[in-house]
Amino acid sequence: MKKALLILLAPLLASCTNFSLHAHSIQQGNWIHEEKISEIKAGMSKNEVAEVLGTPVLDHPFDLSRWDYVYTLDETGKKPELKHVIVEFRENRVAAVKRQD
């Protein structure tokens, strides 16, 4: 009986050995590359911006003149990293690109 119980519990106990040895990085949002941001120029259409940066994470249903790209990276033992880029549009064309890091 004890042997059977040990055989049944062995896989469960083995899976617990890595419980606190490794913590995972947590990434959220749009991956923001400086090279890609520098490709965004005044006068570009929303479709052109979406081709370069992808669709924005934050959507403002009542303000279609602003797209927010936000990226966070939280790694164990390091200060969390936050990047925030705002693309502002006038008449559906890029008017400004702002970084808020």
The model's pTM is 0.68
| Domains within the chain, CATH numbers bracketed | 23-99 (3.30.1450)
| Separation between Cα atoms, residue 36 and residue 71, nearest integer Å | 14
Q: Does the pLDDT of residue 17 top 60, yes or no?
A: no
Q: Can you tell me which residue has the tokens 């083995």?
A: 14
| CA 46/CA 53 separation, integer angstroms | 10
pLDDT of residue 58: 77
Give CA separation, 47 vs 18, 32, 54, 65, 71, in Å: 45, 18, 9, 13, 21
The torsion defined by the Cα of 32, 51, 87 and 94, in degrees rounded to 10, comes to 150
- Mean pLDDT across 13-26: 59
